[in-house]
Chain A
């Protein structure tokens, strides 16, 4: 099946630091999504991106849809302890709807107060 390469797999940062993560693929996507998953919970959508080159912010979060449509990145600025969790990217393939979502493996973020 399709694959998304998400990196890094984990990060340990101090409160107040910025963190970046990205996803790459050999496939082209129409939509890029970024989710956060808290322990014992389901993923919650953070940001959705729809156009190549699009840069979107949601509070301290900023994400970009790569020009080639094969990659995306997410930045979190001025991290706080509640940013702890697993962050997933997902891409929606051009030939389908939500049933054609491809998910990254996730990045586990730890924030030390």
Chain B
């Protein structure tokens, strides 16, 4: 199993550009999550999904959108990139709601200039 994979690893965006961060898991997990990690800060939940077709907001959803059309994929969309969205983004998946079952991807580093 590849686990949780994320692409790209690194991206530079100009203010106002849009992009999609890709996340795929091959563990048949129902639950998937997007977090952002700012320097010196704890992970913050952006959006999560409990299954295909079901998504919900986390703590910091503004400026982002998600979709979950399949069990495997959970893309994160930035429509109008802002400098405040400069961060490292982690996707995670789990087979149930218990936190200890979460597996994290390697992260996408995003720089908005």
Contacts and interface: CB of A to CB of B under 8 A. Distances in A.
Interface of A: 1, 4, 6, 9, 31, 33, 40-45, 48, 88, 90, 92, 97-99, 101-106
A105 B102 contact: no
B106 A99 contact: no
A103 B42 CA distance: 5
B81 to A, nearest CB: 22
17 contacts: A1-B59, A33-B100, A41-B106, A41-B107, A42-B90, A42-B92, A42-B104, A42-B106, A43-B43, A43-B104, A45-B100, A88-B43, A90-B43, A92-B99, A98-B31, A101-B43, A105-B40
A44 to B, nearest CB: 7
B39 to A, nearest CB: 10
Categorize the interface residue count of chain B. Answer: 20 to 34
Given A42-B105, A43-B90, A102 B42 contact: yes
A33 B99 contact: yes
B28 interface: no
Contact of B106 (A40, A103, A105, A106): A40
Contact of A105 (B33, B42, B99): B42
Interface in B85-105: 90, 92, 94, 96-102, 104-105
B95 to A, nearest CB: 11
Given A42-B106, A105-B41, A97 B98 contact: yes
Nearest to A38: B106
A40 B107 contact: yes
B45 A101 contact: yes
A99 B43 contact: no
A1 B43 CA distance: 12
